[in-house]
Structure 1
Amino acid sequence: MELTQATVNDLLARLGPGDGHMYLPDDLDPQVLTDLLDGRYGAPRTLVLDGFTDPAVDESGGAALLAPFEGRAVKIRAWAYGDQWVGTGTARDAGGVERPVLVVAHREVPEPLAVAPDEDVDWMERLKGITGWTQHARRPDMDWTEVESRLGTALPSDYKCMVETFGEGAFDGYLDLNQEPWPGLREDGLLSWAGTEHEDLYCWRADGDDPDRWPVVVLSFDGEYVPFDCRAAEFVCRILIDPHHRFTMARYFDTHWFMNYREGD
């Protein structure tokens, strides 16, 4: 069976939008299918390896993908994509033969809570809730001392927490999180911490000695300078869920996720 992205589309369409699974032809290379899904959804999470299920896997981490195989899964990799889990690998069929599989399951994503004007919000926790993030920190050992020394400035704590938590990748596969800011974009003290495939740049105006008070500025693809009175994590939360935000992503996605570009250890 020759695999292409079009073939993958056809297979996923056969499974439908709900829960479903299928055993694939024996001549299909499971790694090729994994690579195609990796290119589409980002780095996967390993749920089962050599027949052993990761003990940390629960309903918020894709456990529903394993239910159809009733303990017969041999190797399953999983991706979170909107309101769906997608998994592939191998599992034993009813006769005990190990075969390639493709499986999908519904994914519950916590609804964001409304924010009262005087509420003290932990925007990083809100961001993890919005994206359904349950994985371990991807880059907990970032050497911020070296980065800040090279840049010549301290950096906002919520941004550093985003990088440590999510690592290299993009929110909704669209908003790329810079692993360190890009300096020198303009002469007005802007540092870019993220960008989109539409070439909008999300920056800080580095005013003052306290980086946790730096406001966000958007340099749009057409050169417009748009300031926002908030920090980076709050800005990401709001563009993900507020359909009225100037740079909203809520019009394109009903649920949200973070696409990893590299698989964690």
Structure 2
Amino acid sequence: MTALTTLTALCPPPTAAPPAPDWSEVENTLGTRLPQDYKQLVTTYGPGQFCDFLTLYQPHAPSEWADLTGPMPARLRTQIEEVRQAARRPWPLPHRPEDLLAMGVTGNGDYLFWVTQPSGAPDHWTIAVNEALRAPWFTYNGTVTEFLVDVLSATVRIPMFPPDLLDGGITFTPAQLHSTAPTTAPRASVSTHAIREWARANGYDLPDRGRIPIEILKAWEQANPQ
């Protein structure tokens, strides 16, 4: 049984996924081949969110913050080192920034990256997750489809993911039904730590970890317009 078969049994995909991207064109744009499991995953599910929390980047997505072929992956790669050096005590990185290709984001501003080594063997790439480009980092030794299976079946616990992630059930919501998608994740240039500090200063009761409620994200965005 493949990981995709297990995933679709665990979390049924939409009955009608959008047309598959032109993968040759996508890979030419990125300058690299992509893992076969990711291409099958996108073709099966299309754009959307798992458990109203986890969004995979898609080729040519309409929103820049979730566009695999847009500027966001390169921007995040640059910001990793900028954020680290700006810290009072820079933390060690488990992977070189140039080996990281952003491919997902969560509602808390956690980022998912492929560790693109070996560079010529994308089907052997592993997954790295971190919290708003800061420490801690979590490395998963498997494909993104296997990662989703283990996260959604609670086989693997990702430290920066909220403990109540699966309390609402294991779901996939297609993007066209998710009108609030651009506001469910903090803007890439702002850390969740900054949002939590703002929330506490404005009377919100918010723990150090866990999902930031949508109402707080919306209140922060209204108070801090771009």
TM-score > 0.5 by shorter chain: yes
- Larger of the two Rg values belongs to structure: 1
Determine the C-alpha separation between the residues in 2 that align with 1:188 and 1:213.
17
Q: 1:30-78: per-residue Cα shift (whole Å, max 9, x none)?
A: xxxxxxxxxxxxxxxxxxxxxxxxxxxxxxxxxxxxxxxxxxxxxxxxx
Determine the C-alpha separation between the residues in 2 that align with 1:190 and 1:166.
24
Identity of aligned residues (%): 28
Aligned length: 142
Q: Does 1:220 align with 2:131?
A: yes
Q: Does 1:239 align with 2:151?
A: yes
Determine the C-alpha separation between the residues in 2 that align with 1:166 and 1:221.
26
Q: Please, what TM-score do these two structures have when normalized by structure 1?
A: 0.49
1:220 Cα offset (Å): 1.7
Partner of residue 4, structure 2: 124
Q: Which has the higher strand share?
A: 1
Q: Please, what TM-score do these two structures have when normalized by structure 2?
A: 0.57
- On the 8 A contact 2:138/2:158 being kept in 1, the answer is no
2:44 to 144, 165, 169: 165
What letter is aligned with 2:27?
Answer: E
Partner of residue 82, structure 1: none
Determine the C-alpha separation between the residues in 2 that align with 1:189 and 1:252.
29
Q: Which has the higher helix share?
A: 2
Partner of residue 139, structure 1: 18
Q: What is the root-mean-square deviation of aligned Cα atoms in Å?
A: 2.1
- On the 8 A contact 2:14/2:174 being kept in 1, the answer is no
Partner of residue 91, structure 2: none
Q: Which moved more, 1:222-231 or 1:243-252?
A: 243-252
- On the 8 A contact 1:242/1:250 being kept in 2, the answer is no
Query: Would the alpha carbon gap of residues 155 and 244 (structure 1) be closer, same or farther in structure 2, given more than 3 Å must change?
Result: closer
What letter is aligned with 1:246?
Answer: I
What letter is aligned with 2:171?
Answer: W
Q: Does 1:202 align with 2:112?
A: yes
Q: Does 1:192 align with 2:102?
A: yes
1:256 to 166, 170, 186: 170
SS in 2 for 1:183: helix
- On the 8 A contact 2:12/2:171 being kept in 1, the answer is yes
Determine the C-alpha separation between the residues in 2 that align with 1:251 and 1:243.
14
Determine the C-alpha separation between the residues in 2 that align with 1:126 and 1:149.
30
Partner of residue 73, structure 2: 183
Determine the C-alpha separation between the residues in 1 that align with 2:33 and 2:155.
33
Determine the C-alpha separation between the residues in 1 that align with 2:172 and 2:54.
9
1:183 Cα offset (Å): 3.0
- Stretches of structure 2 that go unaligned for 5 or more consecutive residues are 60-67, 78-96, 178-226
- Stretches of structure 1 that go unaligned for 5 or more consecutive residues are 1-120
